[in-house]
Amino acid sequence: MTTNFRELLQTLVTGNVEFIIVGGVAATAHGSARLTEDLDIVYRRRPENVARLVAALLPYDPYLRGAPPGLPFKWDQRTISNGLNFTLITALGAIDFLGEITGGGNYDDLLPHAIELQVFGLNCLCLGLERLIHVKRAAGRPKDFEAIAELEAILEERRQKP
């Protein structure tokens, strides 16, 4: 199944969810040519925001991605508050809700490093390119090496532009 990034972002923005786009979709926003299949976001862990997140996604049947069907997973405020990071599949596609990320921290830590994006007629926050490189480096995963190299090349290209 493909992920409908437009609808997912629209759902979160119209639901007044506070979030920052990170990961591969953030890389796409900055100019990456790599394919990514899920939307990774860091959400603010305040109770009112968790409530908005739950309400926004509820109509799209969020469920643990890759888990066998029938597990007692309940998409509610308690589940989110008791956990931190959630890898989910929804009717709109794959989405990862992250309470914090390695090398970047939580929403409030990342906020000073976020940029405002206008996309699909929506205003949303996306992690800035340099911070994105920083957190991917901090994660230290060999599978990210090519992605980091591309992001650094994008940074160089941008700096060369007048």
Partner 1 sequence: MKDHDATLEPDPVIEAYKKDVDRTLIRENLRLSVEERFEKLMQLQEFAEELRRAGQQARQP
Positions touching partner 1 (CB under 8 A) are: 1-6, 25, 28-29, 31-33, 35-37, 111-120, 125, 128-131, 133-134, 137, 145-146, 148-150, 152-155, 157-158, 161
CB of 3 to partner 1, least distance (A): 7
- The candidate with the shortest Cα–Cα distance to 101, out of 131, 146, 124, 75, is 131
Shortest reach from residue 91's CB to partner 1, in Å: 16
Query: Which CA distances in Å does 24 have to 40, 78, 145?
Result: 7, 28, 13
Alpha-helical (H) ranges within the chain are 5-14, 23-30, 47-57, 77-82, 107-110, 129-139, 145-160
Question: With respect to partner 1, which residue has the nearer C-beta, 29 or 64?
Answer: 29
Q: Minimum Å distance from CB 75 to partner 1?
A: 24
Instruction: CB nearer to partner 1: give 33 or 71.
Output: 33
Residue 67 vs 153, nearer CB to partner 1: 153
- Identify which of residues 37 and 61 has a Cβ nearer to partner 1 in the complex: 37
Going by DSSP bridges, is the β-strand pair 93-98/38-43 parallel, antiparallel, or unpaired? parallel
Could you tell me if 84 and 96 are in contact, meaning their C-beta atoms sit under 8 angstroms apart?
no
